[in-house]
Amino acid sequence: MPQLDVASYAPQLVWLVISFVLLYVLMARVALPRIADVLEERSRRREDNLAKAEELEKEAEDVSAAYETALAEARTRAQAALAKAQDAAKTSAEAKVAELDKALHARTREAEAAIARARESALGEAAAIAADVARMAAQKVAGLVVDEASARAAADAARKARA
Amino acid sequence: MASPLQQFEIKTIAAANIGGVNVSFTNSSLFMVIAITAITAFLLLGVRKRALVPGRLQSMAELMYEFVAGLVRDNVGSAGRAYFPFIFSLFMFILFCNTIGLIPYTFTVTSHIIVTFALAIVVFIGVTIVGIAKHGMKWFSYFFPPGAPIYMAPLLVPIEVLSYLARPVTLALRLFANMMAGHTMLKVFAGFVIALGVAGVAPLAILIALYMLELIVAVLQAFVFAILTCLYLHDALHLH
């Protein structure tokens, strides 16, 4: 059995030590750091990408939130503007109504005054006519000459008594 | 017909003698050099491109790295990080020597007891030094299982010491015996194929099946050697 040939042990051991030490040095110093580097870089890249994706997602959320805020603000502002416009319209409408009311009142009063004046003058004329009629009637019926002033007074008194 | 053991013969390629020590370059030396060259070339070519999405060779190189790194992490723990290059070298060396040896006309370095024993004794002595350096005298408590009654010590301690001392022997023998037996068997069946002529197809079929089995054994023995080294290292670092 060649494995038991003691003379072959020395060269085998010598070359085993040489090649294994060389292999160890090559692995520990060159090959393994390189592979570790590649693996590390990959995991770093992966984490980087994940972080970036998270960042972008957050940014998108921020933008969406800002959009919502702006929308809500715009809506509030629009509502405020609408309310203000409505208020203003109401106020101006009320003012106009009041003004119109006032004008109408004034004209009503004017008309009433005109009517009163017309009535006054109509009543005055009627009284003069009544006095004349009474004076002429007294002259014709009783042959009494009644002066204008007393006829007027009598007519007035008669009207007042009837009223 | 050549003896099935002829394949294990050490043949001198270049004779050399330094200080009375025979340091001749032999077929064994040649295949050690081929193995370490193949390992280094495989890994360095694999990660040459440093691709983010690895190609086939890079995937294999990374797979080897992560496999052994996982082995060390799971069996030794984070303290085993410092020994990772050694265990990686050990695993790759045995793996490549075993599998290269399966190629016809090659020589299997690990089919020699002196080589496997040298590797095992390096592991044994290294692990012992690591244990004593880490725990000092407390390391000797390893030979007495915790929780056992003290009067059992005269029985348990010799058993534990013996099983500890048997480690390099079993480690070396397991690899050597597997390699030698497998290669011998392959050679015996190959001899039948030639001797039986046309009827040799039957042993040829067996030979192919055996070859598959030997491929598995070659990989498995490298794995076993590496994982046992990890377990011994775990014992040395953590005691029990």
All structural domains of chain A with their residue ranges: 7-116
Residue B103: which pLDDT band, with cuts at 50, 70 and 90? Answer: very high
Contacts of residue A31 in chain B, CB cutoff 8 Å?
A: 39-40, 43-44, 47
Compute the average pLDDT of residues B115-140.
Answer: 94
Give ipTM to 2 decimals.
Answer: 0.92
- In a domain, residue B1? The reply is no
Q: Does A15 reach chain B within 8 Å, measured CB to CB?
A: yes
Q: What share of chain B is helix, strand, coil (3-state, %, to 5)?
A: 80, 5, 20
> Would you call A67 an interface residue with chain B, using a CB distance cutoff of 8 Å?
no
Q: What pLDDT sits at residue A163? A: 67
**Stretch among A157-161, B66-70, B89-93 having the lowest mean pLDDT:** A157-161
A97-111, A149-163, B96-110, B164-178: the lowest-pLDDT one: A149-163
Is the CB of A98 inside 8 Å of chain B's CB atoms?
no
pLDDT value of residue B5: 87
Residues of B with CB below 8 A from A45's CB? 52
Number of domain units in chain B: 1
Is any Cβ of chain B less than 8 angstroms from the Cβ of A37? yes
Tens-digit pLDDT profile for residues A104-153: 999 999 999 999 999 888 888 888 888 888 888 888 888 777 787 887 78
Q: Confirm whether B202 is domain-assigned.
A: yes
Would you say residue B26 lies in a domain? yes
Q: Which residue in the block uniquely carries the two structure tokens 């079929």?
A: B205
A42 touches B at CB < 8 Å: yes
Residue-wise burial string across A98-112, b where 16 or more C-beta atoms lie within 10 A, e elsewhere:
eeeeeeeeeeeeeee
Segment B205-220, tens digit of pLDDT:
999 999 999 999 999 9
Averaged pLDDT, A37-41: 91
Three-state DSSP state, A12:
helix
At position A77, the amino acid (one-letter code) is: R
Q: How far is A22 from chain B (nearest CA, A)?
A: 8
CA distance A10 to B17: 10
Tell me the residue range of the domain where B22 lies.
6-238
For range A55-69, the mean pLDDT: 95
Closest CA in chain B for residue A42: B52
Q: Is the pTM of this model over 0.95?
A: no
Please check whether residue B36 lies inside any domain of the structure. yes
**Within a domain: B198:** yes
Mean pLDDT within B161-184: 95
Give dist(CA A62, CA A64) in Å, integer.
Answer: 5
Q: Is residue B50 part of a domain?
A: yes
Of the pLDDT bands very low, low, confident and very high (cuts 50, 70, 90), residue B1 is low
Alpha carbon distances (Å) from A10 to A6, A23, B36: 8, 20, 20
